[in-house]
Structure 1
């Protein structure tokens, strides 16, 4: 057992080292802006009692002005700003002056904040106090640390029950699970910590039952509290633990030490949960009900995908070798259930099934792949270890060594694949669906979604290639998805610079995945009219794209014309333009009369049709300033410009309310189309 501990520690150190080394390659999670400011606020309150940052030196005041910000050097974990370190306020960019304790007392109520707080502790020590690690990556070392401990624990746990070989295969399966590896670098406020704490909790319970130890049972309360303080998934662990204890050690239910220590563990977990979340303190019952309502809202709804979708995602996103070994392991585990005392096999089966059943049960919903139930992955890895052992044991004595090496070497292909697609491992799909390109071809739900991780590749390219003082925008997304310190200080990073068909030369970044092609005019324009200047691809599919919106990158030169014979028809709901024949529309320009008898538009939308019967709503609503941000709000001041992307239509309908809005007072208009 001593050797098992040493090997487990070495595996932990190895994973941590590789994880830290690769950390600067990954972008941040889309949810980061919702978590880290909250973690910093609560941490500052716990440490100082202050409800704002008035006791700290001010951060940069004008983040768009050169000299009032800094650029963190690319591809490095260490703190390396482009200005002297002593001129950088040693605060985090997520310590926002306007987002304070009182703000969260009003706005909080989603996922619990404990991992936000613990991530902020790592930032406080490694960046703010020691200046060793850069501002953003310092938060994420928390996740790498937890996962390294988790991988080491899986080895140790399996090895003390089934031997070193099974432990090695289990730890390899967990480490080389592409989705898990990738997410461990940036999904460090919710799903990764929850998976780690869920596993630590189960191990503590297993040890407590196996050793008849109230100390282990009490220790499980710590991990229950950490998990509950991170995400409510841990509440479903009862469907794993209770059947397992009933089947393997049911007499414990009447043992005084077990009942008392279990109650103590549950109580200590609740104390950790409540004490770590100041939002709950004013009215715990009402506010916990609000949190429960939040989880009901995201977990119980009419699903837009099949209930079998999570199962199919696991089938298609699990490396083939791990699938094969886990299938053998499942058969082996079923056979061991009645033979093992304190059966890890049964625990692993329940552990695998409960999270999956939870999101495939009728009336439940899951979105964004399977990141919300990542706790199934350690269980699958344990079963893969059992599967490897099953094949090893069935080999003849003369061939055991060969079989063992073959099983270990069978992980080489997935290792090479992960290296080749790094750092985009979380969009990995296996050969059963044809890789990411097959998932795209089959329109598999959420194909290609990196959840923000791929942005960092785009920022590195822009930093190296963009001309001084260039404008940078997203095709659609929100500014906080890329920390400002990841872009050169001379770059003007703001979505107001989207220029569409005006082509003013801005760089546009986006993550192409299922559903993004037609979500906005700007998305459609970029894809149809421009050649990208940069793409990071997996299996031939772009996972992050950069365009430069200027004439030299046009796919072809487009000629615009307009027809003076377009007919206009008004009705109570708006106006309809009829071109008399289907054409590839380019844009609509209207001059209209504003007077005292009309009002501003409150709501509108644009619809198009080939035959005047079947209508298609174009994305977005009116009035808005997202169409071409650099032109401002549309309609405005007697002018209205609406761009199209060459849709082949005959009719254009402006549906608008109220009926007496000024845009209906058309003075003149031009409806342009593309001509070959």
Structure 2
């Protein structure tokens, strides 16, 4: 019996399960270390509404008791749900009375909802019914579980082709890949998409190679789940079609004959039938689980495709320095500097292993992995393709990279110095895991030594360095929960309220966008992510960052990635405590192509804080464009980011805080040094320039 048990322990099938199981255990234990991402509210509320309809047939939550914030459901950031006296009905924060089935079935589009529904099902089981896990944690458990399935799939896939040790290496690389490990805890879209995508094409490969029609059916289900999450899976065709052509050429050469083809097809009759039902199964899954499509399938499908066209085309301005002959090298560059060096080396060796796999007649497997990696990257590097926020949108590249790391391992172990290679691989994997552990739970902002870590990425101003996808808000929430006074006010200078679940805060705290009080300094706490993104230059953020001393800074490797401010006089920097009025030396209305512009000369350089223009509201036009620009010499102008057609702060704050109304234009500056101000409404007969009166304010004490 002992011998049999020992054989089980050393069997390949048992050994390659170790890493996935460890990933699942560690993953569950560390879920509370991560926050939610800024898309979570939309996805979770949609998933809850559709699931409630599927389970009960009801289109709203009218029969649910209202959600009451208390110490039982608010401010508890641990893994397990605390026991509360009375127990009773547990309503999810995301079962929102406004965003119910009746809303989504009309206003849906964008990404499909299958992942949302499955996350809601996890919440239904582990939070609403069993009361084991918290509201957010139970949603996130679904994400972690799909990632676990992918790691198992990769381990078995590589083991089939290359053996046990390369399979273990591939599974370790995938499980410990910084972006994948981190976002498997809270990113509702990309890890599930990568998992379903990977499982779909791996089962397709195995079904074809092993002539297993059941694998093709499993692939079609996985493809349906992938398509029901994001449309990335359509690019799988660019992987499998060239690969299957290569596979067939190999099968029928060098002695091609009609008899050989006929026998090949006859042996695969069930396989061919499974191909016939592949698309109906995949598309059927999406249709069944997306009620939005039921109303008008053709029109709503075009709406969805329009959404993807909108977000998938057009290279962002911040990517301009990465454009080479029209191609965007940012995705490839980002991957090369955010992958740990040992994994990068193994992957490169794997990519360069063409000669070995050609000699060993394993080109089908090699080509499959190469196509998987390069198609994932090239599709967003194509001229005029769009990508932003790093490379999480193409997370399906990570399992391909993990497979190629296994390929690299397989290649190195065939060299003469096998033991040295083995030792270096093991040490390299330990180094990679250590790199991840030391910045936990912020693995998704990892940068390697090629750019000097996160600090180097900041100094090089790599677009979106430090972008945690919203997870880091949790660290600020923890600080506020522990340190803020009773019934304190909380505001976000940039993000929308759904960026942080209300139930993450203590029940007594007042969390609302209009709490932002700016220069009125009403004592609210401001909390915001701190990384390189265009919105950080908006006034609502610049005010907090320039005017106030933060009360809490959360840093990784010495680089701030989140700040908390208290907006009161005590925490205002001394030079920003007093402002005075500066009388313009000269104002003029100058004609231009689109109309007229107001030019203001202050006579000297001033650190301005506010421009006020009193103007008419009748017999004139209010435009939808326009801008403000500043200059110190009237030669070089800097256009301001905030638009002039709407207040720079939250709704319900504009007139109360800054005085904006239909006869009063107010534009705020966070202490900008300038002499000349240009206000260009870019419209004829603008109300802003009719019967105008100008007031300019600036700092009394110059920095």
Query: Following TM superposition, by how much is the alpha carbon of 1:526 offset from its aligned partner in structure 2, in angstroms?
Result: 2.2
Pair 1:361 & 2:382 matched: yes
Give the TM-score, by structure 1 length: 0.91
Partner of 1:109: 109
Pair 1:46 & 2:54 matched: yes
Match of 1:277 among 286, 290, 295: 290
Give the TM-score, by structure 2 length: 0.88
Query: Following TM superposition, by how much is the alpha carbon of 1:580 offset from its aligned partner in structure 2, in angstroms?
Result: 0.9
Verify the 8 A CA contact 2:144 2:184 in the aligned structure 1. Answer: yes
Verify the 8 A CA contact 1:69 1:485 in the aligned structure 2. Answer: no
Query: Following TM superposition, by how much is the alpha carbon of 1:135 offset from its aligned partner in structure 2, in angstroms?
Result: 0.6
Partner of 1:197: 196
Label 1:511 to 1:552 Cα distance change in 2 as closer, same or farther (>3 A).
same
1:378-527 correspondence to structure 2 within 5 Å? 378-396=399-417, 400=419, 403-516=421-534, 518-527=536-545
Partner of 1:646: 671
Partner of 1:260: 273
Partner of 2:366: 345
CA distance, structure 1, for counterparts of residue 308 and residue 667 of structure 2 = 40
Match of 2:305 among 292, 296, 307: 292
Partner of 2:256: none
Partner of 2:74: 71
Verify the 8 A CA contact 1:72 1:79 in the aligned structure 2. Answer: no
Match of 2:628 among 606, 609, 625: 606
Partner of 1:323: 344
Label 1:169 to 1:603 Cα distance change in 2 as closer, same or farther (>3 A).
closer
CA distance, structure 2, for counterparts of residue 326 and residue 291 of structure 1 = 36
Partner of 2:216: 217
Listed one character per residue, the Cα deviations across residues 184-206 of structure 1 (whole Å, up to 9, x for unaligned) are 11112x21111111121122122
Verify the 8 A CA contact 1:452 1:481 in the aligned structure 2. Answer: yes
Listed one character per residue, the Cα deviations across residues 317-370 of structure 1 (whole Å, up to 9, x for unaligned) are 111000101111222255314633583222111111111121112232222211
- Structure 1 window deviating more from structure 2 (121-130 vs 23-32): it is 23-32
CA distance, structure 2, for counterparts of residue 551 and residue 244 of structure 1 = 66
Verify the 8 A CA contact 2:488 2:509 in the aligned structure 1. Answer: yes
Verify the 8 A CA contact 2:46 2:104 in the aligned structure 1. Answer: yes
- Structure 1 window deviating more from structure 2 (229-238 vs 530-539): it is 530-539
Query: Following TM superposition, by how much is the alpha carbon of 1:539 offset from its aligned partner in structure 2, in angstroms?
Result: 2.9
CA RMSD in angstroms, aligned pairs only:
2.8
Verify the 8 A CA contact 2:658 2:666 in the aligned structure 1. Answer: no
Partner of 1:56: 64
Pair 1:158 & 2:158 matched: yes
Which structure 1 segments of 5+ residues have no match? Answer: none
Verify the 8 A CA contact 2:583 2:602 in the aligned structure 1. Answer: no
Label 1:662 to 1:241 Cα distance change in 2 as closer, same or farther (>3 A).
closer
Match of 1:17 among 25, 29, 33: 25
Tell me, what secondary structure is at the counterpart of 2:527?
Answer: strand
Verify the 8 A CA contact 2:52 2:58 in the aligned structure 1. Answer: yes
Query: Following TM superposition, by how much is the alpha carbon of 1:660 offset from its aligned partner in structure 2, in angstroms?
Result: 6.2
Tell me, what secondary structure is at the counterpart of 2:563?
Answer: strand
Tell me, what secondary structure is at the counterpart of 1:569?
Answer: strand
Tell me, what secondary structure is at the counterpart of 2:103?
Answer: helix
Partner of 1:580: 603
CA distance, structure 2, for counterparts of residue 144 and residue 565 of structure 1 = 60
Listed one character per residue, the Cα deviations across residues 591-649 of structure 1 (whole Å, up to 9, x for unaligned) are x4778777888776433222334433323234644448373464238655543222111
1:214-253 correspondence to structure 2 within 5 Å? 214-250=213-249
Which structure 2 segments of 5+ residues have no match? Answer: 1-6, 250-260
- Structure 1 window deviating more from structure 2 (278-287 vs 233-242): it is 278-287
Query: Following TM superposition, by how much is the alpha carbon of 1:403 offset from its aligned partner in structure 2, in angstroms?
Result: 3.8
Listed one character per residue, the Cα deviations across residues 19-52 of structure 1 (whole Å, up to 9, x for unaligned) are 0111111111211122111111111111112222
Label 1:179 to 1:602 Cα distance change in 2 as closer, same or farther (>3 A).
closer
